[in-house]
Structure 1
Amino acid sequence: MQQTLEILQRLVGFDTVSANCNLQIIAYIEEFLRTRGFTLHRIPDASVEKAGIFASIGPVGPGGVLLSGHTDVVPVEGQLWSRDPFRLTQESGRLYGRGTTDMKGYLAAMLALADRAAKVELKEPLKLAFSYDEEIGVVGIKEMIGHLSSTIGLPRACFVGEPTGMQVAIGHKGKTALRAICFGESGHSALAPRFVNALHLAADFVQELRALQQNFALNGAQDTAYDIPYSTVHVGKLAGGTALNIVPDQAVADFEVRTLAEDDSKDILQRILRAAEKVSKRYRLDCPKARIEIDAYNSYPGLSVADGDPVVVLAQRLAQSNAVTKVPFGTEAGYFAGLGIATVVCGPGSMEGQGHKPDEYLELSELVACTQMLDRLLDDLRA
């Protein structure tokens, strides 16, 4: 474990909050893997300020097993930390630092495994993926995934190491982030009833979204493996107006939909569009230009794997756990599954207990369990 802890110390020391450039941590990972004989492919983003990596060692081509994790972390601003968030601190069996749970602990275990894999002969390739901008909507892997086949080849299985307490996660909901731009007409507030207030359109539209949520809860698909067993609609931001004495002619509502695999996200979008038109039509009686425009500006797919699927059985054997779970948060797993790769989520740490919180920590015992799981994987890949 000493090497894993040393690697984790280096990884935590990189301030890879999503708003920042991640090229320093990428350079460290590249150098670590290059000196151990890995084939490397850097995938830059459009700004060339960030990049991800696909890496492989062993027989060239498709097949093998891919381990995947993201390099970015959430901000620490506004949080009360009792220690330096970008310096690994070990205390009472816990490893403190930003990203220890989400998910640099897993990245450290991946790199330590890479060192061990470089010293043995492999009958199947070990493949690694390091992404960026996961924390702002699973953005990085969306840009990287199209390069996987042409670089290191599609693996037969993929393990995404988000924190699951080392349980095998076989599902999570997909998500679509949307923005409703509501248009009315401006005027003096003393004459407010003569004008169509864009905030009124927005408020009525929010009521339609709440009705849609209620319909999901009462009549939609249900999956009791989730704490919230149905698809959800959440309005996170509502803004409009420039001054109290001006009727606002524009308002914006940002909202999201998290969908079960059983629900059709395209059908849900159509229902949202119909709700927007229903509200707009009512206000157009007084203002012909009243309308609501819907912008679905980001999305990522969910994950749904059958309990008993061969990849689940494999993950359970490697993790030495018969338990399966479904997680409430999104991951990159759906993008790998979308390529036909058998994919599950399994990694050390608790997202509910530690993810995105001040004084984030990872139990050392869970990092040990993760290392043991990856050792069993290496035994499978060895000649």
Structure 2
Amino acid sequence: MKYTPKEMLAKLVSFNTESQRSNLELIHFCRDYLASLGVESTIVPSPDGQKANLYATVGPAVAGGVVLSGHTDVVPVAGQDWTSDPWTLTERDGKLYGRGACDMKGFDATALALVPEMIEAGLKRPIHIALSYDEEVGCLGARIMIDAMVAAGLTPSAVIVGEPSMMQVVTGHKGGTRMKTTVRGHAVHSSRVDIGVPAVMIAGKLIAWHDEVMAENKARTPNDNGFEPPYTTLHVGVVHGGTAVNITAEHCSFTHEVRVIPGERDDAYVERYRTRIAELEAGMKAIAPETGIEMEVTSFTPALGPEQHGEAEALSRRLTGDNGSHVVAYGTEGGLFQAAGWSTVVCGPGDIAQAHQPDEFITVAQLDAGARFIRGVISELAR
């Protein structure tokens, strides 16, 4: 069965692939759809088997070609006020509403819908379609999918990550490291705080460290790098701790992140943070040896940096006519593809401002622009 991009988008939106849920139903649909066209897929399951990536090659098994990359998971709709059913694509005034319509099933749907055109074009170099799971919670699926693609011997010349960029060619984004810190204190009555180890107050010093380092970054980073904000940011998002106001807290934990600009090392911030932990921990153990601080890195996604004479950038600029300089503060799977040695840019239909919002939408005009772009890729690879 053939689909238009809009019809395929309606099908993909109908699958509830919130990150806390399985995406297997959608992945199996894509596998069966591609098989009906004579295209074989490779399924790369998650460690627990509850989710999966899929990649498939259209065209000859030769070096070069282009990866069209998208994720299949979407953020939750709980607590959001939707005008229409988020799992039913609804068109109003030139806009297509549905969870994931913009971020980023619009790109996924267009790539899948145009597979018949890829086949009919007689490609001289391949198009690889790569669909991942759990991008929204740390780019978890893409890591093992890229490893599988490398192990399979794929050597694309370019990767297009179709995150919503209004079809602008994005050549850089920040990297991100997410962490969790747990402080084990020593509980005593707060009237004798001098002999206790208050986990919440120790955590407060570590939380303050994030602001201090970010202020240093802001003061020393040039403002002309294109990023908003132009410096590496540090942030604490969730804190849990304490039992009562008159007890020095025995436990406190918090989750936090660092978002680095290209050229800076995530691990340098992690090392610096561990040094601060060691300083505080020494004072804690001097009072109560059983106390301590544990920190774990829960996810890491590398930055995407501009490339010198990158094939992905050159191709995307030829097809879009966009010669501007564009970078974004949010992260994508692009840094992972680039880290694998593949030339990568972000370029896809839709406005990132719509991502994660109630009544998320992509305009029909942007969906059409995405289709023109992929048809351009097909023409390039058919020459």
TM-score bracket, shorter-length normalisation? over 0.9
The alignment status of 1:328 with 2:329, answered yes or no, reads: yes
User: Where do residues 37-56 of structure 1 align in structure 2 (5 Å cutoff)?
Assistant: 37-56=38-57
Q: 1:308 to 1:119 in 2, by over 3 A?
A: same
What stretches of structure 2 of length at least 5 have no aligned partner?
Answer: none
- Quote the sequence identity (%): 35
Q: Which moved more, 1:3-12 or 1:212-221?
A: 212-221
CA contact (8 A) 1:221 1:260 kept: no
Q: CA separation in 2, counterparts of 1:309 and 1:126?
A: 18
Question: What is the match of residue 258 of structure 2?
Answer: 257
Offset from partner CA, 1:254-293 (integer Å, 9 cap, x none): 1100111221222211111111122223444433444322
Question: Given that residues 133 and 140 in structure 2 are in contact (C-alpha distance below 8 angstroms), is that contact kept between their aligned partners in structure 1?
Answer: yes
Contact conserved, 2:100 with 2:106, CA < 8 A, in 1?
yes
CA contact (8 A) 1:158 1:344 kept: yes
How far apart, CA to CA, are the structure 1 residues paired with 2:226 and 2:269? 22
After superposition, residues 175-194 of structure 1 pair within 5 angstroms as 175-194=176-195
1:98 and 2:94 are equivalent in the alignment: no
Match of 2:35 in 1: 34
In structure 2, the residue matched to 1:369 is 369
1:346 CA drift (Å)? 0.2
Q: Decide which moves more: 181-190 or 267-276.
A: 181-190
Q: Which residue of 2 aligns with 1:130?
A: 131
Check the 8 A contact 2:121/2:379 in 1, yes or no: no
Distance of 1:126 and 1:294 partners within structure 2: 41
Distance verdict in 2 for CA 1:151–1:35, change over 3 Å: farther
How do 1:1-383 and structure 2 match up within 5 A?
3-151=4-152, 153-220=154-221, 224-306=225-307, 309-351=310-352, 353-383=353-383
Aligned 8 A contact 1:223 1:230 in 2: no
Question: Post-superposition shift, 1:162?
Answer: 0.3
Number of residues paired by the alignment? 382
Q: CA deviation digits over 1:73-128, x for unaligned, max 9? A: 00000101011000000111100000000000001110122121122311111111
Deviation of the 1:152 alpha carbon: 6.3
Whether contact under 8 Å (1:176, 1:298) holds in the other structure is: yes
Please state how far the C-alpha of 1:189 moved relative to its aligned partner.
4.1
Alignment partners' CA distance in 1, 2:338 and 2:118: 25
The CA distance in 2 between the partners of 1:246 and 1:327, in whole Å, is 45
Q: Secondary structure of 1:117's match?
A: helix
1:245 CA displacement: 4.6
Q: Deviations over 1:27-53 (max 9, x none)?
A: 111111112122311111111111111
Greater mean alpha carbon deviation, residues 327-336 or residues 292-301: 292-301
The offset of 1:190, in angstroms, is 4.9
- Deviations 1:108-163 (Å, cap 9, x if unpaired)? 11012212112231111111101001111111101221100233612111100000
Post-superposition shift, 1:204?
Answer: 1.3
User: In structure 1, how many angstroms separate the alpha carbons of the residues matched to 2:92 and 2:83?
Assistant: 13
Amino acid at match of 2:377: L
Kindly provide the amino acid, as one letter, of the partner of residue 354 in structure 1: Q
Tell me: CA distance 1:2–1:153, structure 2 relative to 1, closer, same or farther (3 Å): closer
* Structure 1 unaligned regions, length at least 5: none
The 10-residue stretch of structure 1 (355-364 or 318-327) with the greater mean CA deviation from structure 2: 318-327
Amino acid at match of 1:90: E
Q: 1:307, CA displacement in angstroms? A: 6.8
AA matched with 1:343: T
Deviations 1:311-369 (A, max 9, x none): 21210111222223111111001111111111100001111x20100000001111111
Tell me the CA shift for residue 238 of structure 1. 1.4
How much does 1:168 deviate? 0.3
Paired residues of 1:221 and 1:263 also in contact (CA < 8 A):
no
Aligned partner of residue 148 in structure 2, secondary structure = helix
What is the CA RMSD across the aligned residues, in angstroms?
A: 1.8
TM-score, length-scaled by structure 2: 0.95
Q: Which amino acid aligns with 2:356?
A: H
CA contact (8 A) 2:221 2:230 kept: no
SS in 2 for 1:251: strand
Give the 3 Å change call, closer, same or farther, for CA 159–4 of structure 1 in structure 2. same
On the 8 A contact 1:221/1:231 being kept in 2, the answer is no
CA–CA distance in structure 1, aligned partners of residues 67 and 325 of structure 2:
20
Q: Secondary structure at the match of 1:130?
A: strand
Sort the Cα spacing of 1:332 and 1:84 in 2 relative to 1 into closer, same or farther, 3 A: same
What's the CA shift for 1:222? Answer: 5.8
- Secondary structure of the residue aligned to 2:4 is helix
With the length of structure 1 as denominator, give the TM-score of the two structures.
0.95
